Structure 1
Amino acid sequence: MSITKYPMTVQGARALEAELAHLTKVERPRLSQAIGEARELGDLKENAEYHAAREEQGMVEARIRDIEGRMQNAVIIDVTTIEHTGKVIFGTTVEIANVETDESVTYQIVGEDEADIKLGKISVGSPIARALIAKEEGDVVAVKTPGGVIEYEIVEVRHI
């Protein structure tokens, strides 16, 4: 059985590392202390504080395992170290313009876990990113959407 590796930007890796550090150095000790204090209150069967702290501890430990697994299976790609050829690749920031409306938008192509449309980060597996990968500035790409096909022109490709 082979383990699948997933691409991740340097920024995405840093964010996960920061979250992991917070969970292990702040949340885990806080919950351990809360469980200890709740235990001292007596009967655990009817101790709401104890059960709430244990439940939260379970969620924190699950998130820690999830992050550790993701980091273990990540291939961290620093796009700033890759020669800029003008082609869209994982990690690049791409400005595209709707051919019909001339409305432009900028996206960074990131790993599945990093995607956040509000921040302009789209998953490498998204329809737009799949259409853009390996294309160059000036190319026009067709993106299939639920509302039909939309054509975009690649205005600029940046390695930032």
Structure 2
Amino acid sequence: MAERKNYITKHGYQSLKDELDFLVKVDRPKVVADVSWAASNGDRSENGDYIYGKKRLRQIDARAKFLFGRIDEAVVIDPSSQEQQDKIFFGAWITLLNESDDSEHHFRIVGQDEIDTEKGFISWVSPIAKALLGKNLDDEVKVETPGGLVNFRIIDVSYHE
């Protein structure tokens, strides 16, 4: 399987590091203490606190392992360093005009670990991002959506956090 780069913004990278730091330094030690206390209460086979605590430790360890890997593979991109401010690259904020109903849509192209649809953050590997990357301000773009082919015009491109 081809290895895919883990492009990420500085903010996204810091968020991954902060989550890992919390898991390793705060959450895991607390759960370990809870499990130790529960284990000291005797029979572990029917000890809900012990069983739940061990399960939670496995979840924390699995998430920490995942985060270690994502951080290790990360390629941090600083969108503000883009020289062509009217061209769409990773980290761009884009406003599109749907030419069929005149609705505007605002997106930011970010890494896969940063996706947040409520904030308008879309992955650089998503179909709409793939259609937009490399395009310029005022270009028209056709995007295949679940509702069919939609024509958009790029009405704004900017680079800021």
TM range (shorter): over 0.9
Structure 2 counterpart of 1:131: 131
Q: Residues of 1 paired with 2:126 and 2:45: CA distance?
A: 48
What displacement does 1:102 show?
A: 1.1
Structure 1's 2 and 122: CA in aligned 2 closer, same or farther, altered over 3 A? Answer: closer
Q: Which amino acid aligns with 2:131?
A: A
Aligned residues: 160
What displacement does 1:4 show?
A: 3.6
Partner-residue secondary structure (3-state), 1:117: coil
Paired residues of 1:109 and 1:129 also in contact (CA < 8 A): yes
Alpha-carbon RMSD:
1.4
Structure 2 counterpart of 1:13: 13
Paired residues of 1:9 and 1:91 also in contact (CA < 8 A): yes
Paired residues of 1:84 and 1:159 also in contact (CA < 8 A): no
* Of 121-130 and 4-13, the range deviating more from structure 2: 4-13
Q: Residues of 2 paired with 1:79 and 1:67: CA distance?
A: 23
Paired residues of 1:79 and 1:92 also in contact (CA < 8 A): yes
Per-residue CA distance 1:55-95 (angstroms, 9 max, x = gap):
00000010000001001111010111221341100111111
Structure 1 counterpart of 2:47: 47
Paired residues of 1:107 and 1:122 also in contact (CA < 8 A): yes
Paired residues of 1:94 and 1:107 also in contact (CA < 8 A): yes
* Of 149-158 and 77-86, the range deviating more from structure 2: 77-86
Partner-residue secondary structure (3-state), 1:95: strand
- For normalisation by structure 1, the TM-score amounts to 0.95
Q: Residues of 2 paired with 1:126 and 1:95: CA distance?
A: 16
Q: Residues of 2 paired with 1:116 and 1:18: CA distance?
A: 17
Q: Residues of 1 paired with 2:30 and 2:83: CA distance?
A: 46
2:127 is equivalent to residue 122 of structure 1:
no
2:109 is equivalent to residue 105 of structure 1:
no
What displacement does 1:6 show?
A: 1.4
* Of 39-48 and 78-87, the range deviating more from structure 2: 78-87
Partner-residue secondary structure (3-state), 1:12: helix
Structure 1 counterpart of 2:84: 84
Paired residues of 2:98 and 2:151 also in contact (CA < 8 A): yes
Partner-residue secondary structure (3-state), 1:154: strand
Q: Residues of 1 paired with 2:89 and 2:62: CA distance?
A: 32
* Of 2-11 and 71-80, the range deviating more from structure 2: 2-11
Runs of 4+ residues deviating >2 angstroms: 1-5
Unaligned runs of 5+ in 1: none
Structure 1's 123 and 65: CA in aligned 2 closer, same or farther, altered over 3 A? Answer: same
Q: Residues of 2 paired with 1:124 and 1:22: CA distance?
A: 27
Partner-residue secondary structure (3-state), 1:119: coil
Paired residues of 1:114 and 1:121 also in contact (CA < 8 A): yes
